[in-house]
Amino acid sequence: MAAINVQNDIDMHQFQILNWVCQVLSADPTSPKQGQVYFNSTSNRWRVFNGSTWDEYATAAELAADLSGKVDKVEGKQLSTEDFTTALKTKLDGIAAGAEVNVSSFTGTIEGDGSKTVFTFNHGLGKAGMVQVKDSSGGQVWVANSCTATQVSVTFGTAPASGVTYTVHVVG
């Protein structure tokens, strides 16, 4: 039977096409149109042109195999299994927001006397840390100075005036 060359859309008026067979090709057609469908005889899969690339559809057996490993949702749970104990969950719930592991801190005070420019503290943290110095109004003066595993040394370019207080905070 010879093919009928149709040069326009066919409106089926919601009637069925019975015993329809899709075009079978071994490679993608050239110059496809968005929505064009064919059956690829090499991969044995339907292919549809999405306007820029060809999408290939999985077989029913492949879909069933992929879905066989899914986990069903259990009503009332965010996860379908509890993979950790209630004791561990309770412990996790007790950790404050923003908490950090194994962080120690030291706070010291510097009282200006108008002549001294270097102040040294033994902090006993056992490791070097970040140094933050603030004036009495709470304004940050700087965030870096000399800090070893046992001591912090704060050096001012000009001696703090008498009665001026600074707070030194070391986090390690």
Read off the pTM: 0.39
Mean of per-residue pLDDT scores for the chain:
82
| Residues whose CB falls within 8 Å of the CB of residue 69, separated by 6 or more in sequence, listed in order | none
Q: How confident is the model at residue 172 (pLDDT cuts 50, 70, 90)?
A: low
- The alpha carbon torsion through 108, 138, 143, 171 (nearest 10 deg) reads 50
Region 109-115: mean pLDDT is 85
42 against 142, higher pLDDT = 42
Decide if pLDDT at 75 tops 80: no
30 against 148, higher pLDDT = 30
